[in-house]
């Protein structure tokens, strides 16, 4: 599941834009600069960092689907070539590629930003409709807006408005059950083609169903079991509402149940305060609201917050969901505890103010950031040097950092099938993850053996000093291009 968290070096050191590199030691991973939903960097000041390795993968996968149809096996990379792979996020990839074809990276980034802003606006509207006061809604939503906007452009953004809609529908149904809850079915069906976080969405639907079944059993209402049972069955089937059908079971199993991810990939590791300080702030507010009996949070609301707090603490890739849910769930409880005598008309200026702020942010990006500037911090000279060398010998294969692999393939489509691996670490398997770990740390006597046939290399020496030093120390290695912190090498 691509998603969620991107560890990069600071722009001053040159970009290292891949998803969390699997080879970082745990201590080193923690010290990496994290451009994610909780980045402390001003969004507009570092707009080019919104384009990361995940963004390039979305574009590469979308282009491949457009030209060759839905994949069943990997046909992009060399080291993982032929391995079973279903592109669960195929729809997000095709849409991203279409946006780039129409308006370039600028449009991709703008649509991503609009999805983030709209998610927050819908969450605020949901809070107000559920009884939240303007003051509490603004107090909860304001810091969430500040931490959402720096999010890198990636397929996860397509799922954020769906997540808000899902929480709204389930919370509303928990208060006043009616037929509108069935709208979660098309939401889940669409989500199953956009992002792997649909599993978390299905878990929340199952949670609501379990509560409904428990109420019906307690009341000995046999007819009351039908509705939550049908909803639970739909939630169990929803992740497979895709052209791949139940073939996605292999994809979900290879990502969710892979124990190696937690040890080797930072976005799958436990969340730390340094990595996501805003998550801990929101989690603290949520816990306070849960333990204060006078706030009277509903059972589903409380359990939903607990699930999202635990999910966020378990892996960094899940921290984005709690703040959005908090905007929906907490203002109504806080308003009931501290009522505010305001008229409904106060809603309009509140939403207008937030909408204006979002529009100004998106407009500023549109006016000040071009597609060319979004690519400016990427190693164009080094990538061109690799492409020229590969063009001169069709047998040459490329060993590139996972964060650069898809960018290199996007810029030079002729390298399809000749680059080692990319951000789809689930394709590597347990053995492959260990091989990449040893490679990036140049650890052990056999660190180079699995990749000995890859004679071209593109790596950042600021992010991988051990590997670059080992490559440069190998007799016969020659530097093709070197500017900033990225090296393009040819080796024997």
Q: Are 37 and 150 in contact (CB under 8 A)?
A: yes
pLDDT of amino acid 43: 28
In 3D, which of 233, 161, 166, 164 has the Cα closest to residue 194?
161
pLDDT of amino acid 333: 87
pLDDT of amino acid 84: 93
| 3-class DSSP assignment, residue 3 | coil
pLDDT of amino acid 200: 95
pLDDT of amino acid 292: 84
Place of tokens 């939503």: 141
Q: Are 441 and 60 in contact (CB under 8 A)?
A: no
In 3D, which of 198, 463, 490, 455 has the Cα closest to residue 321?
198
What is the pairing mode between strands 456-460 and 398-400? parallel
Integer Cα distance of 448 and 61 in angstroms? 28
Query: For the whole model, what pTM was predicted?
Result: 0.85
Integer Cα distance of 52 and 7 in angstroms? 9
pLDDT of amino acid 303: 95
pLDDT of amino acid 15: 40
The full length of the chain comes to 492
Is 43 buried (19+), middle (13-18) or exposed (0-12) by CB count in 10 A? buried
Question: How large is the angle between the packed helices 402-411 and 53-68, nearest 10 degrees?
Answer: 50
Integer Cα distance of 36 and 317 in angstroms? 10
Range 256-277 burial, b when 16+ CB lie within 10 A, else e: eebebbeebbbbbbebeeebbe
As given in the structure block, the two tokens for residue 447 are: 């660190």
> Which regions in the chain score pLDDT beneath 70?
1-49, 146-147, 149-150, 257-268, 338-374
Integer Cα distance of 267 and 54 in angstroms? 13
pLDDT of amino acid 17: 40
pLDDT of amino acid 20: 39
């Amino acid at each position: 599941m691509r998603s969620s968290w991107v560890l990069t070096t600071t722009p001053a050191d040159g970009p290292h834009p891949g998803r969390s590199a699997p080879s970082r030691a745990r201590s080193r991973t923690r010290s990496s600069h994290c451009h994610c939903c909780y980045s402390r960097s001003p969004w507009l000041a570092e707009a080019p960092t919104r384009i990361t390795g995940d963004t390039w993968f979305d574009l590469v996968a979308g282009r491949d689907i457009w030209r060759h149809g839905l994949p069943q096996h990997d046909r992009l990379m060399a080291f993982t070539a032929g391995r079973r792979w279903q592109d669960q996020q195929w729809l997000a990839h095709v849409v991203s590629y279409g946006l780039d074809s129409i308006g370039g990276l600028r449009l991709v980034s703008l649509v991503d930003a609009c999805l983030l802003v709209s998610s927050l606006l819908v969450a605020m509207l949901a809070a107000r409709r559920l009884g939240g006061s303007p003051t509490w809604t603004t107090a909860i939503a304001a810091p969430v807006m500040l931490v959402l906007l720096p999010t890198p452009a990636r397929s996860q953004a397509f799922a954020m408005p769906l997540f808000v809609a899902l929480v709204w529908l389930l919370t509303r149904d928990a208060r006043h059950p009616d037929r509108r809850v069935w709208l979660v079915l098309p939401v889940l069906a669409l989500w199953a083609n956009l992002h792997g976080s649909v599993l978390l969405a299905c878990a929340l639907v199952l949670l609501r169903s379990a509560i409904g079944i428990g109420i019906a059993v307690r009341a000995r209402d046999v007819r009351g079991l039908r509705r939550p049972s049908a909803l639970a069955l739909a939630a169990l089937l929803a992740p497979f509402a895709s052209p791949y059908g139940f073939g996605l079971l292999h994809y979900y199993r290879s990502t969710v149940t892979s124990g190696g991810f937690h040890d080797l990939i930072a976005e799958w590791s436990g969340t730390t305060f340094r990595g996501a300080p805003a998550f801990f702030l929101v989690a603290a507010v949520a816990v306070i609201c849960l333990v204060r009996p006078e706030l009277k949070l509903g059972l589903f609301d409380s359990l939903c917050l607990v699930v999202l707090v635990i999910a966020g603490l378990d892996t960094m890739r899940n921290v984005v969901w709690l703040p959005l849910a908090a905007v929906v769930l907490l203002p109504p409880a806080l308003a009931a505890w501290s009522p505010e005598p305001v008229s409904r008309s106060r809603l309009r200026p509140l939403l207008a103010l937030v909408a204006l702020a979002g529009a100004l942010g998106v407009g500023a990006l549109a006016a000040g950031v071009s597609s060319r500037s979004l690519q400016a911090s990427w190693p164009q000279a080094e990538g061109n040097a690799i492409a020229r060398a590969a063009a001169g010998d069709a047998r040459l294969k490329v060993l590139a950092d996972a964060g650069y692999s898809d960018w290199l393939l996007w810029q030079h489509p002729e390298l399809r099938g000749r680059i080692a691996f990319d951000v789809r670490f689930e394709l590597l398997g347990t053995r492959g993850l260990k091989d990449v770990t040893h490679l990036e740390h140049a650890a052990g006597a056999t660190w180079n053996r699995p990749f000995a046939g890859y004679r071209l290399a593109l790596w950042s020496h600021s992010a991988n000093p051990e590997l670059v030093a080992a490559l440069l120390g190998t007799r016969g290695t020659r530097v093709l291009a070197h500017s900033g912190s990225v090296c393009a090498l040819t080796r024997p």
